[in-house]
Structure 1
């Protein structure tokens, strides 16, 4: 499966490379949890001073999939299909990491989970 990653910038100096696009390949049929966890683990998201960065992972269909917080050990799902294969959006799958600065990750997760 081909995946195109993009993310918001975290600071003015980071804007030069926006939208920070990377193209990756993963085995077909991987679940959202597996792909997002792998991307977070390999350092695609920049660390923020103070350790409180919050990101929302959005699919190409503009569906919020998970909240990622620098202070959490793993991403937290926003959908019941977290263990299901990524939605078939055609090829490639697009995932965007929307930066929410240092918002409270529990509040962000609760607010978005209520909308899901």
Structure 2
């Protein structure tokens, strides 16, 4: 199985979190299942844990031009969940850039209810 190159970036969760750059390129084992691919990614690009244990993130596909949230939201991840919940096609190929890589952005939603965030994003999709 081939590797998939993912360009990834995220919001900061606190002022001290800005010390290191969050933008990275990681390689993960390619999977046609987006949920499997995201679980591989989160092992190599772990999201910060916050006090209270209830951080919520929107995972959005980002183009080279920087378009993101909420228009290209593909999943919601919560610190209290084991896996992200998909909003978009589970087929990884639907989210690839023209060069065969993927560009993702993790938007920090603080301690908002992940279920409420999911519901709001589903309304925006209509």
Category of TM-score, reference length = shorter chain: 0.7 to 0.9
What runs of 5+ residues in structure 2 fail to find an aligned partner? none
Partner of 1:45: 47
Aligned counterpart in structure 2 of residue 57 of structure 1, from 37, 56, 59: 59
What runs of 5+ residues in structure 1 fail to find an aligned partner? none
Question: What per-residue deviation string (whole Å, max 9, x for no partner) do you get for residues 24-69 of structure 1?
Answer: 1234453321221222345620111110000000101431000000
Distance 1:113 1:71 in 2: 21
TM-score between the two structures when normalised by the length of structure 1: 0.85
The runs of at least 4 aligned residues of structure 1 exceeding 6 Å deviation read none
Distance 1:90 1:40 in 2: 23
Q: Does 1:88 align with 2:96?
A: yes
Question: What per-residue deviation string (whole Å, max 9, x for no partner) do you get for residues 60-84 of structure 1?
Answer: 14310000001122110112x12x1
Instruction: Give the root-mean-square deviation of aligned CA atoms.
Output: 1.8
Change (3 A) 1:29 1:74: closer
Aligned length: 113
Mapping of 1:7-86 within 5 angstroms?
7-18=10-21, 20-28=22-30, 30-42=32-44, 44-61=46-63, 62=68, 63-79=72-88, 81-82=89-90, 84-86=91-93
